[in-house]
Amino acid sequence: MTDRPDPDRPDSDRPDSDRPDQHDAEPPAGPGGILDGLKVLELSQNAAIPHCGRLLAGLGADVVKVEPPGGDAMRGLASLGPNEARAYAVINPGKRSIAIDLNATGANEVVDALFRWADVALVAFKRSDLARYNIGWDHARTVNPTLVHLTHTALGPHGPDADQGGYDVLVQGRSGVGFIMNRSRNGVPLPTRPAIHDFATGIAAAFAVMAGLLHRDRTGEGQRVDASLLGTAMSLGLANMAFFPTLDAEPIAEFAADLAVLREAGVDFDQQREMYEDRIQAGQGAFRLYFRHYKTADGLLSVAGLSRGLWLKFHNITKLPVPDVSDPSTAEFQAIVEQAEALFLQKTTAEWTTILEAAGYPCGPYNLPYEAMADPQVLANDYVVELDHPVFGPYTTAGMPVSFEKAASGIRGPSPVLGADTRDVLVEAGLSDRRIDELAAAAVIIEDG
């Protein structure tokens, strides 16, 4: 970590004692969150849209998570006790939880009350279930026409597979992004973790919700907003998601023909991808020399140069000859890569970091996940937060990825106990205590899981 002030952040040289601190898991000091007072109903499980709810809660929104009687599926992964688990705890901090059996007679009354209460509904169900449970926009708009209804599907709201459910791994394969990023074992690609399409969809959905709210504030109208894992994946793969007929048609046709032969011969995934990178993927030469991870004398180092000016710095530092990066398949280029790899092995990560930073070449540590959570740069920006759960005690998880000069942003508490807020929320939504008692007796709702 450097002590030099960052000119792009005028406040970055302030002492730590002057900055709002999230590590005690209390609401950040000073002004309120931008979304303070916003009421968000989350009808979703697992990761993608719950991550959207997490982000909105971090900006001050009151996010009420609707769970089935047995709880969100994430409550069953890596148990921390009955109805508590690691995955749930890190994905859902700062929310309230109510438990509803959507199959029960009387559930529609509860959901409609919640739609009337909410400004935003985050709904992630298969298209067929939207009508089945009366939670889709077509019904919600009759209850609350000013609602912003974020509808999430795996593969998008239209097309032959619109009704299909799905998870991150399916979209990794379908989008083509997995072919670029997946590791492999025994010649077969492995799903990438973390589930980047899930969590990136949470970010995209939060962006879409904010745009929907801006439209509502301007017009008074609610609307349906759609997000999907597949749409996110196509956006994340942007640099590779392009086709220029005059440049790409012939080489892709030739590659596809050769690939068919290799697959028929049983050539494994890594060899197929290597051929793709050599022949189709643009800019691969730069990635093999200037923008990669190198093994050092005592570990690994990440370097990142994607401009010609930085490439020249790389060669000034290493004294290696300058290759033609347009064709990484040549013996000359490969020889220079091998020389670079041998050179980086001669010094430690710390030594190379000092040399590269002094020359202005971007570089950094290659952390394990637990090392990243203790990285001084991560801590200085409150990118992790310490929370204290009433059931299983303290834990540390990611903080908010954004901050504001004039508004608070922070994780405001741990994940909720299943059903802990059912009564309070339903009273706020307009149901009487007597009616809530009746619904609880009929097992339509669950209190205190």
Instruction: Specify whether the CB–CB gap between 400 and 382 falls below 8 A.
Output: yes
Peptide bond into 194 cis (omega under 30): yes
Q: Give the class (CATH, top level) of 16-237+382-446.
A: alpha beta
Structure-token pair, residue 278: 């050599």
Q: Give the C-alpha separation, 360 to 8, whole Å.
A: 16
Average pLDDT score over residue span 79-106: 94
**Of 9-23, 308-322, 361-375, the least confident:** 9-23
CATH 3.40.50.10540 domain locations along the chain? 16-237+382-446
Helix (H) or strand (E) holding 123: strand 120-123
Burial 110-143 (b: 16+ CB within 10 A, else e): bbbbbbebbbbbbbbbebebbeebbbbbebbbeb
- All residues at 6 or more sequence positions from 286 whose CB lies less than 8 Å from its CB, including other chains: 305, 306, 311, 325
Task: Report percent pLDDT > 90 for the chain.
Answer: 67
- pLDDT 10s digits, 2-50: 333 333 333 333 334 333 343 344 444 446 899 999 999 999 999 999 9
What angle in degrees, to the nearest 10, is found between the helix axes of 168-175 and 229-236? 50
Tell which residue, 373, 353, 371, 361, has the closest CA to residue 298.
Answer: 353
Answer whether residue 326 shows pLDDT above 90.
no
Average pLDDT score over residue span 104-122: 97
Prediction pTM value: 0.86
Tell which residue, 172, 186, 170, has the closest CA to residue 270.
Answer: 186
**How high is the pLDDT of residue 283?**
61
Structure-token pair, residue 31: 């002004």
Answer whether residue 310 shows pLDDT above 50.
yes
Of residues 67 and 274, the one with the higher pLDDT is: 67
- All residues at 6 or more sequence positions from 68 whose CB lies less than 8 Å from its CB, including other chains: 99, 100, 101, 102
Task: Report percent pLDDT > 70 for the chain.
Answer: 92
**How high is the pLDDT of residue 267?**
86
Model confidence at 127, pLDDT cuts 50, 70, 90, reads: confident
Helix (H) or strand (E) holding 232: helix 229-236
The average confidence (pLDDT) of the chain is: 88
**Of 254-258, 345-349, 433-437, the least confident:** 254-258
Cα separations in angstroms, 192 against 45, 88, 169, 180: 20, 20, 8, 11
Answer whether residue 375 shows pLDDT above 90.
yes
With H, G, I as helix, E, B as strand and everything else as coil, classify residue 424: helix
Burial 9-30 (b: 16+ CB within 10 A, else e): eeeeeeeeeebeebeebebbee
Tell which residue, 76, 37, 40, has the closest CA to residue 55.
Answer: 40
**How high is the pLDDT of residue 229?**
92
Answer whether residue 170 shows pLDDT above 50.
yes
Answer whether residue 378 shows pLDDT above 60.
yes
Tell which residue, 146, 141, 150, 120, has the closest CA to residue 59.
Answer: 120
**How high is the pLDDT of residue 189?**
84
Q: Give the C-alpha separation, 445 to 427, whole Å.
A: 13
**Of 2-6, 208-212, 430-434, the least confident:** 2-6
**How high is the pLDDT of residue 6?**
39
Sign of CA dihedral 397, 53, 169, 129: positive
Instruction: Specify whether the CB–CB gap between 172 and 191 falls below 8 A.
Output: yes
Instruction: Specify whether the CB–CB gap between 134 and 111 falls below 8 A.
Output: yes
Model confidence at 270, pLDDT cuts 50, 70, 90, reads: confident
